[in-house]
Structure formats: C-alpha cells, structure tokens
Structure 1
C-alpha cells in the first residue's frame, strides 16, 4: 500500500485527486493521510467525497474512511470498467475536478463511457466547465482522448445545480504532448484572440462594462465578444479571455462576485493574460498543473509556462512518488519556465 501525505506542498485536494487517479491507473492500494491539512477546514468536503466515490464506482473498489471531514482514507481499486455513471456532488463543488479524477482511467479502459455530473460548473475556485471544454479537452484530443460534452444547465456558486454529460472514447495509449512556442506573437494578431462571457440572470449592463474595459486595457478594439446567456439556480458572471493556439486556447478566467465592479473583474482578468503574454509561454499556471499526469502517462512531453505554482510542484511530487517519473523544471529566463518529463527517469 502506498501512503501519501496530504499535507505536503500546498496541502489541498489536488494531492487526493492525483493519488486517486494514479491508484486507478496502477491498481495499487492507496492510503492518503492528513487530507487537506493546509486548508482552514481540513478533511473531505462534498466534492472530495464525490471524487473518492467516483473512483470507487468505476473500479468497484473498496474504501475506508469516506465521510465528511475525514482526514484519512484507504482505497483499494479494482479493475476500471467502462460504462454509464452518474455522480452528484450535492453542492456547488466542482464537477470538473470530479471529471478530471476519472477521465484518464476511463479513457484507458475497455470501452466507451458516458458520465453524468451534477453540481457546480463555475465556482471561481477551480477550473470551470468552459475552461475544460475549450482549453483542457482539446489538448486531450491531441493526446488521443476523444470526448464529447453535452450541457443541460450550468451551475454557479453558491447553489450549484449544474448538469452535464461527458462521453469518453477509449484509447490504448496516450500520445506525447509538447507545447514550447510562446503565444505572444499570436496574441498580437487580434484575429487569434477571444472575449467570452457566461452570464446567468444578471443585467446586460454588466457584460457591456466588462467587454469595454477589457478592450481598453488589452487594446483589443477588433476582438469579437461572445456572450453566452443562460438560466441557472444562482446568478453568475464568468469572464474568459483567450489566445487561440494550435488546437487549444490559452485561457484566463475570473468569476464575478457580489460588490465586485465589472471594471475591476475585467482589469484582474486582463492583467493575468498580460502577464502570460509578457512571459511568452504556451501554457498558463492552472493548465500546467493539469497536463502533468497525462504527459507522464504518455511517456514524453512538456511545455513552457510561468513560474510553477505550489499546486504544480505538489503534483510533480505526487507523480514522482507514485509513478517514479520525474520532471525537469528549468527557468529559461525571467518569468518563463520549461517543464519537461525526464525520459531517463
């Protein structure tokens, strides 16, 4: 049994999710202790429970300690089985993170799977469903994982209530992914840029002010703006700024909050994109964290990104401990880093 210390690094839920995914892929029993020790409210929350139960369901595995607030679990996976599954969080917790826990094991399983999710899709504390569909999944397509997403309803914080389905086609082996070319040159051509706003049951003036502010700050007068107007259990406002690359999008996103001015939201989001373009990288800091395990499974690849976050460093440590694979993390120049799988490890 492999024991993983959930207090290491950033001490959050990513340690648990990555460990569960790798346990499913290797079939090895797993113990995770000190779960989310680095958080104000440690232990399993609803979305973490959903991740564990999803891992258990797709492998007919055995779990101990799976309850709200638990800081220790044991998980013995069985063989991952493709099929139809339904997972509900019961809160606005991230369905995207539950999806990412089981995506790779199901993609490498023995047939097509269709998974239904219920819960949060845009909560500001994790990658949104928009980010998943436009940035992450297109890169999985390049690595050999074919998926299709069908959305019934989006779910914003605090009510959640989102419902969507993911169909996953099986693949025998992931293909290496290398993203080294920075996107500053592409961004200079405004035809490669995009402004997207997801608006649920809020005044139209909010969108107009956000778009105007973004265009002014980024000098994007010619960039088209797409507004997705939806109904949801909670009002919501999610701003997404993208540079369209080769088959994926370099995307930054920010959720609106009560008493946060539209202009302030636009400024913060645009500022993040400007930092990525100044560093001239291919991958943002959030996507960097999510690409590590697929690249490790492919056996080769890497990308340029900004200084690795504590999230990324922690994920590297978990992968190294459980799979024995190492990443070479190199600072190329100020604010520009390269992370490559060490193929000699």
Structure 2
C-alpha cells in the first residue's frame, strides 16, 4: 500500500475520496503537514465525515480548507475555537446501576428532554464540534492523567432552580458521601446544589484543557454548579410538591470516566461518541448504536435507552417503579376496550405502559378520533405524559406521575373537556376517564361511602350520545351508574344536547364525587322479580314523516301492551319521549323569480334538505327488579329511509289507506318493542342480575374494590362478544388480582367473582 501519510504536498479532493473508498485511509492519518484541498466548504465537510481523525480548519481567504492531523503535535492548537450546542462533555451514571434506573423512571414522567438527553451532569456545554472530538479526547486524557477516580460521590439531594416566575427545574446534586449530618442539613438550606469538591476540580481541569468552552461557569457567575436535571415544573410550589413526594434513597455515583456526547441534528437525541477514563485510563471511540460492554446497556439508533437484563433486577428507590408493562392491544376482543382499561389502570397504579397492536384486527387499525380523544383526556386527568398519541397510531406509551399527591387538583374544583371532533361515543370517553375521576384526589375523611354533593371533577364530553357499537349515554345513566352507586361511586350526568351519527354535536356534563374509602364490594346474586320498566325513546325524525308516524307516534301505548304480554301481567311502565322532531322541507323555497325558476327551485330544495339532519331512532328499555337489579336492552335504527316509502315521500301520508297505515305502524312498533322486551325477560328469567354490557364494565371496579365481589351475568350463550373475558385478562395483568368465571349449568347465569379486591385508594 502506498505511504500516503508521508506526502507533504496537496492532493485533489477526488484523489482523497478515491483513497477513502479503496480503504487506504482507514488507519489514523500520521502526516504532520497540511493537505490543502482545492474545494468549497461542502467538499471539506464531506471529507471530514470520512476522516474522523482530522479536523477542518477555518476557510482561508481563497476559499480553501485544510485538514490537520491529530495524531501528533500540540493537539490543543488544532481546535478551531468553535463551540456548538450539538455536543457536550458530561458525567453519567453507569447504565447497569440502580441509580440509572431510578433516575430514568423519574425523568420519563417529568423531564421534557428525556428523549433528547441521557441522565447526565454537564462538565462543558456547549462543547467543541464533533469533528474535533478525537483531539478533544486526547487532550482530556493527557490533562486528567493524574486525576484519581471519585468513589465517594453520591446522588443524595434534590433541589430546584427557578427561571423567573413560570418555570422551575428539579435536579439531583452529586455530593460528598463523607459529609456529616450537620453539613448535609446546612447544604439543604442552600438555594443551589452543593456539589462534591472534587467534581469542581474535575471541571476546572477540563475547562483549562479546552479554555474556549467556558459557558457553564459564565452562566452561573463564574461558579460551576454541577447538577443532574430530572424534571421541569410550572412554579415553585409544583417543584416543591414533587420533591416532597419522592422518597429518594441516596445512591452511589462513582465518577470514573467522562463522556463526549453529540447529536446529528437539532431534533436528534444525544449519544455517546467517546469515553475518556480518569487516572491515565484509555480513550474509547464508540461506534454508532453501541456502547462498550462494561456499560451494560446500548443506545438504540434513535437514542432511546434499552436497559440490560441486570438493570431490570435492580431495586429502585421507594415509590419508583421503573418497569414498563407491555400490553397486547390485539388481545381477545382486540378493540378500544383494551386501550381504555389499560390506560385507566396504568395511570391509577402509576405504571408505565406500552400498549402495542392497538385495534390491529379492525378494518381501520390504530387510534381513531374517539380513541385519540380518550388517550389525551386520561393523560390530562392523570397528569401523565404520553407518546404515540397520533391518529392511526398502533402503539401508545403512557408515563404517569410517581406520586399520588401529584394527581390531586391544585384547586377544589376541576373542569375538563374532551371533544373528538366527530360523532364518537361520549360514553366510551367516559368509560376511560371515570376510574381516574373517581380517584383523582386523596380522600379528606375516613368516613366510608360516597360524598354526595362534595367537591369533585366536572367533565364535559362532546360527540355522539347515541351511536352504534357503544352503549348510549341513557344506558350509562339508567343502568351502569346505579350499580356503581352501590359501590360508593356517585356519578351525576346531565345531557345538555344529543348527538347522533354522522353529525355528532351532543354534549354531556358529568360530575364525579370521589369515594372517601375503597369501593365497597359488589354482591349481585339475587335477580328478584320484574317490577318496573323504564323506556326512553330518543332520535331525530322529521315532523309528520313516515318515521314519525310509524315509529314514534303512539309508541307508549304499543309498548304497554307488549310488556304486559311478555311479562305475563301488569308491570309498571315509565316512558319518556325525547325524540326531536325537525321541521320538514316545506317546498316554498322552490319558488324563484326569473326565467330559470325550475333550476333555481331545484337548487333551493337541495339546500333546504341539506339543512335537515339525518333521521335516527333509538329505544332503550330498562328492567328493574324487586332486588334493585337493572337490565338494559336497546335498538338503534340509523337508516329510516325505508319508512318514507309507505308515504310516497309526502309528509302527510296522502295516497295510503288509513287502515293499512295503522297496521304497518303498529306492526313496526310492536316488532321493536317485542324484541327488546323478550331479551330482557329471557335474561332475567335465566337468573342474571346485570346484562353483558354492564358486566364487562364492572370487572375493573370489582377489582379495585375491597373484599369479595360476585355478580351474576347472562348465560354464556347470551354473550355477543369477548368483552367480559378481555376485561378480566387486562385487569388481572395490571392489578395482579384473580377472577373466577363459571356457570352451574349451560343455560344458567354466568358467575364472575373476585375473592379479594385490591382495595384501591389514591394513597395506595
């Protein structure tokens, strides 16, 4: 191989590129002279990327650049004098240590720079450009050749900096482990970190070696203030509350080496490029994506930390849970239910969750607007950070706060709002948020039971109040909420406006009064006898239309007759007609002046019909028994065009025989009422105390309650989905409880039992 290193002259850029491509310049360059490149700056940058042991000097007046060897000579002379915010010289905890694990578990929830920076203490920042790292590493190695390892350093004290009135940064300070209790108390009174004196000496030695990078000392009035940032907060009180809430255990922080960190661009994360060991140790260049084996961990290409097997077994400080729980979003039912239960329990238990394969089996996998609104809502309620909250995302990571005191509202009353911007179900949004609203603040009294009228959280939800593939808001109010009240959870709901597919626009206000003790166990094993039926008709029809005449008009009378027939005797009935009748298209807007009357009339008619809302009809029946159990059954008809055919499209129904219209009308109403009433009767006769839609919602609350809960649901043959089994699997995984589910006979009720609930309170 030619000895190109001995040349003293200049080489054209293309020649150097050829040498690099042929592999002739893999070894560090050893020439002492300067290679002049007849090239513009872009060519020099391309060469610098290929020759990591060379630096590019400043551009000369003739537009030329030079590359200087860092293999010998006075290395400090090769610094260009530049300093950039894309690089840093820092200390870091060993990645296989419990200190690293504990710090990361805090930063994940509170530090907005968690993804950008590893846990670090800056020694010099900003630092030299990355293309000068080789020279910098060797300069530092020489300057620190006699600097002994610091083995008596600990991360023992938390504090915070104030940045004006609206921002605070919480930190850990590296301290001398040999300090007495009196000295520690004195340092805790200081408003700034009181660091280990040898770290001050270490920083001074590094800065003397690279003197043009002195921003850290300049920014603190000439005094170096080493600290490891762990979170940002809005004000002093929030920072103090955070520090008081974490039972931090002092961890050893041995200082044996320095790390040269860099990132490629302004949005890329920092990663280790060089390691300089103290006391005359070696210099190691770190290949992209890896760290030396002694570090016990690797940086992924995107800069995320992957803990080693040894780290997973490390014991973190109290009340810090570094483990990240993986939840399979495609489990069993594989829909939004997995997401809702996982998010609620993860935040309540302060567990970091990674939910993958979200709705992977659906025709439109990933987060849809309603799911996305739910993710953002629970993150807001639980003061949690979230990753992957994007439309269509199939993976979400949630990082809740570490302490229950941070879940409490800073004011007695909190008002929250969620709007998916579509006709997405408000009831499904409420399902995700309700467990968090129930336990949003520590109880103020030991008195058991609910706190009617007490301070709580008010939530306003917008979207669809009655849409397909989800319980209606009326179902929640009249079926699910009364059962939750038995457990001590009081939910007050007011429907301000109704919304249907596709317009949406419904608005519901929910007020939750937190229970003052763990939820009471639920024992629903006596179905009782049928006592009363509550009926609620909702929807939108055009006044006088076929849908109005054949579905809504006189429905109460038909329903009474059907219920008497199905239940074999008189039964109390309460019927509410909440159907909105919109004004029909009158035809007057067809009239238009001028010669284009026919065309103008058609356009006016089209605009008028465009203002009419799509017709929809919903009927909910609720069967209440003598034992207080409630069963629900409903039917939603979203396409009512079929009913217009029987009136020839005329609002008054002219053209039909009155007798035929009466038979068709009563026949349609009777069909709907009979189907719903028969469903309730069969479910109640089988011994069920709740229907399947309430049963799957109760699973999580039974697990959170204290003691033994047992509920009788409908027979297995009545179940239309895997929602119950899915709720049990996810709840068992996250809460560590155990459910039993069985039937004594094939057509008998399905028993769901938990022998010992979690007895959850915000303090647990």
Q: Which runs of 5+ in 1 are unaligned?
A: none
Of 279, 289, 293, which residue of structure 1 is paired with 2:700? 293
- Answer whether contact 1:156 1:236 (CA < 8 A) is retained: yes
- Answer whether contact 1:160 1:234 (CA < 8 A) is retained: no
**1:151-162 alignment, distance < 5 Å:** 151-162=495-506
Note closer, same or farther for the CA distance 1:41–1:24 as it changes in structure 2 (3 Å cut). same
Post-superposition CA distance 1:15-67 (Å, at most 9, x none): 00000110121011111000012222111111100110011111221111111
TM-superposed deviation, 1:262: 4.4
TM-superposed deviation, 1:68: 1.2
Of 417, 424, 427, which residue of structure 2 is paired with 1:96? 427
In structure 1, what is the Cα distance between the partners aligned to 2:634 and 2:616? 13
Of 34, 39, 58, which residue of structure 1 is paired with 2:362? 39
In structure 2, what is the Cα distance between the partners aligned to 1:175 and 1:100? 19
Q: Where does residue 131 of structure 1 map in the other structure?
A: 475
1:218 and 2:558 are equivalent in the alignment:
no
Note closer, same or farther for the CA distance 1:195–1:59 as it changes in structure 2 (3 Å cut). closer
- Answer whether contact 2:534 2:573 (CA < 8 A) is retained: yes
Post-superposition CA distance 1:116-136 (Å, at most 9, x none): 010011002111110111111
In structure 2, what is the Cα distance between the partners aligned to 1:137 and 1:105? 16
Post-superposition CA distance 1:84-130 (Å, at most 9, x none): 10111111111111112111221112251010010011002111110
Post-superposition CA distance 1:232-279 (Å, at most 9, x none): 965332111221134552111111231575454334323422331231
Note closer, same or farther for the CA distance 1:228–1:77 as it changes in structure 2 (3 Å cut). farther
Secondary structure of the residue that 2:743 maps to in structure 1? strand
Secondary structure of the residue that 1:283 maps to in structure 2? coil
In structure 2, what is the Cα distance between the partners aligned to 1:80 and 1:123? 32
Q: Where does residue 525 of structure 2 map in the other structure?
A: 180
In structure 2, what is the Cα distance between the partners aligned to 1:297 and 1:32? 21
Post-superposition CA distance 1:200-253 (Å, at most 9, x none): 335153124755267436257654351332449653321112211345521111
1:115 and 2:463 are equivalent in the alignment:
no
In structure 2, what is the Cα distance between the partners aligned to 1:341 and 1:204? 49
Secondary structure of the residue that 1:196 maps to in structure 2? strand
Larger radius of gyration: 2
1:326 and 2:326 are equivalent in the alignment:
no
1:192 and 2:532 are equivalent in the alignment:
yes
When structure 1 is superposed on structure 2, of 273-282 and 208-217 the one drifting more is 208-217
- Answer whether contact 1:296 1:325 (CA < 8 A) is retained: yes
- Answer whether contact 1:64 1:75 (CA < 8 A) is retained: yes
Q: Where does residue 80 of structure 1 map in the other structure?
A: 407
TM-score with structure 1 setting the length: 0.91
In structure 2, what is the Cα distance between the partners aligned to 1:171 and 1:98? 21
In structure 2, what is the Cα distance between the partners aligned to 1:222 and 1:205? 25
Secondary structure of the residue that 1:332 maps to in structure 2? coil
Of 617, 637, 647, which residue of structure 2 is paired with 1:237? 617
1:305 and 2:728 are equivalent in the alignment:
no
Secondary structure of the residue that 1:268 maps to in structure 2? helix
Secondary structure of the residue that 1:40 maps to in structure 2? coil
Aligned CA-pair RMSD: 2.3
Q: Where does residue 342 of structure 1 map in the other structure?
A: 755
Q: Where does residue 147 of structure 1 map in the other structure?
A: 491
Note closer, same or farther for the CA distance 1:213–1:137 as it changes in structure 2 (3 Å cut). closer
Q: Where does residue 273 of structure 1 map in the other structure?
A: 680
- Answer whether contact 2:524 2:629 (CA < 8 A) is retained: no
Q: Where does residue 10 of structure 1 map in the other structure?
A: 333
In structure 2, what is the Cα distance between the partners aligned to 1:108 and 1:247? 26
- Answer whether contact 1:198 1:230 (CA < 8 A) is retained: yes
When structure 1 is superposed on structure 2, of 18-27 and 257-266 the one drifting more is 257-266
In structure 1, what is the Cα distance between the partners aligned to 2:618 and 2:483? 22
Structure number with the higher strand fraction is 1
- Answer whether contact 2:623 2:630 (CA < 8 A) is retained: yes
Note closer, same or farther for the CA distance 1:168–1:247 as it changes in structure 2 (3 Å cut). farther
Secondary structure of the residue that 1:166 maps to in structure 2? strand
TM-superposed deviation, 1:3: 0.7
In structure 1, what is the Cα distance between the partners aligned to 2:728 and 2:421? 31
Note closer, same or farther for the CA distance 1:100–1:74 as it changes in structure 2 (3 Å cut). same
Note closer, same or farther for the CA distance 1:47–1:150 as it changes in structure 2 (3 Å cut). same
In structure 1, what is the Cα distance between the partners aligned to 2:523 and 2:535? 26
Q: Where does residue 636 of structure 2 map in the other structure?
A: 255
Larger RCO (CA within 8 A; separation ≥ 6): 1
Note closer, same or farther for the CA distance 1:95–1:39 as it changes in structure 2 (3 Å cut). same
TM-score with structure 2 setting the length: 0.42
In structure 1, what is the Cα distance between the partners aligned to 2:571 and 2:685? 21
In structure 2, what is the Cα distance between the partners aligned to 1:62 and 1:344? 28
When structure 1 is superposed on structure 2, of 240-249 and 16-25 the one drifting more is 240-249
Post-superposition CA distance 1:144-177 (Å, at most 9, x none): 1122212210111221110010111122321111
When structure 1 is superposed on structure 2, of 18-27 and 210-219 the one drifting more is 210-219
- Answer whether contact 1:140 1:146 (CA < 8 A) is retained: yes
In structure 1, what is the Cα distance between the partners aligned to 2:481 and 2:521? 15
